[in-house]
A and B are shown apart, each in its own frame.
Chain A
């Protein structure tokens, strides 16, 4: 299965600032997915990122708040902008590999 590296693994940020999360995959993939997992909760899809096109956002998520880049077939970034304590969550990237959907270890974000 694909191996995903996510950076940073965790961060504590001040409200009003932005954090960019990186996702690197060890193989080329067409689609990359960004999920949010709030404390003790399930996973919710933020957006789907295709290389060479604008990301597709799910209801309740907007590009101004969660801008995504997808410069090539192995890399993507998610930025959490103008953070508030409500943004404290685990952010995960995922890809569909031949073994099924694979997830990174996630970025645990705490906003203070």
Chain B
């Protein structure tokens, strides 16, 4: 019930392509869904987040698509760049200032 399942585990995309990472959850009480980007040797950095009252949120080249009925959400990176190569984590939480439950992570590689 508390799990967030993320796929794929690794992803290779050509420069300029679209990177898509998917997550699924079971607990319908989750109401906050952030995505984090982590570079080697660094802590995760918040990329973009969404709440279940909207189906899509876009910030620059990053878009979250949210499907409440399917209990799935995904991250789309448009015009992927080599600098986007990192590990991406989806997460979910219930309410404000509560613990995050993380997906397993996706190692993204953008080939130049």
A58 to B34 alpha-carbon distance, docked (Å) = 21
A43 to B96, CA, bound (A): 19
User: Given the complex, which residues of A lie within 8 Å of B96, measured CB to CB?
Assistant: 96
Contact A104 B43, beta carbon cutoff 8 Å: yes
Q: Are the C-beta atoms of B44 and A43 separated by less than 8 Å? A: yes
Q: Which residues of A contact B102 (CB under 8 A)?
A: 42-44
Which chain A positions have C-beta within 8 A of B101?
Answer: 45
Interface residues contributed by chain B, number (CB under 8 Å): 20
Q: Does B46 contact A (CB under 8 A)?
A: yes
Q: Is the interface of A mostly helix, strand, loop or mixed?
A: strand
Residues of B near A109 (CB, < 8 A) are none
B residues less than 8 Å from A43 (CB atoms): 44, 89, 100, 102
User: In the assembled complex, how far is the CB of residue A35 from the closest CB belonging to chain B, in whole angstroms?
Assistant: 8
With an 8 A cutoff between CB atoms, is B49 at the interface? yes
B99 touches A33 (CB 8 A): yes
Q: Is the interface of B mostly helix, strand, loop or mixed?
A: loop
Q: Considering the chains assembled together, what is the distance between the CA atoms of A101 and B89 in angstroms? A: 13
Most buried by B among A1, A6, A96, A101: A101
Is A60 in contact with chain B by the CB < 8 A criterion?
no
Q: What is the chain B residue whose CB lies nearest that of A58?
A: B99
A residues at B contact (CB < 8 Å): 1, 4, 6, 30-31, 33, 41-45, 48, 58, 92, 94, 96, 99-106, 108
Supplied contacts A43-B100, A45-B100, 16 more A-B pairs, CB within 8 Å: A33-B99, A33-B100, A42-B102, A42-B105, A43-B44, A45-B99, A92-B43, A92-B44, A99-B46, A100-B46, A101-B93, A101-B100, A104-B43, A105-B42, A105-B43, A106-B42
A sample of 27 cross-chain residue pairs with beta-carbon separation below 8 angstroms, ordered by A number, consists of A1-B46, A6-B43, A31-B97, A33-B100, A41-B105, A42-B102, A42-B104, A42-B105, A43-B44, A43-B100, A45-B99, A45-B100, A45-B101, A48-B99, A92-B43, A96-B97, A100-B46, A100-B49, A101-B34, A101-B46, A101-B100, A103-B36, A103-B43, A105-B42, A105-B43, A106-B43, A108-B41
